[in-house]
């Protein structure tokens, strides 16, 4: 499972980072950085929550 980011759509709200801080973060420029290549079973719930809370639907889990 991967976290897929639609970078042009991302507005840097940071709600995803709050939902899954071990998987992603906003850098010093406010750009989202995905910290993992693959999401394991242990982090699947957090990854799904991050995608759900994005107000502009910039994240998908695939």
Residues 25-52 have pLDDT tens digits of 999 999 999 999 999 999 999 999 999 9
Residue 27: count of CB within 10 angstroms of its CB: 9
| Segment 1-18 mean pLDDT | 96
φ and ψ of 58, to 5 deg: -85, -10
Residue bearing tokens 């976290």: 3
Classified as helix, coil or strand, 45 is helix
Percent of the chain exceeding pLDDT 90 equals 100
Q: How confident is the model at residue 61 (pLDDT cuts 50, 70, 90)?
A: very high
Q: 53: which residues sit within 8 A by CB, 6+ positions away?
A: 15, 16, 18, 19
**Could you give the domains of the chain?**
3-61 (3.30.70.20)
């Amino acid at each position: 499972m991967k976290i897929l980011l639609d970078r042009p759509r991302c507005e840097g709200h940071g709600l995803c980072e709050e939902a899954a801080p071990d998987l992603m973060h906003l850098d010093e420029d406010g750009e989202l950085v995905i910290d993992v290549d693959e999401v394991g079973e242990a982090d699947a719930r957090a990854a799904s929550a991050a995608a759900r809370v994005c107000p502009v639907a910039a994240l998908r889990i695939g």
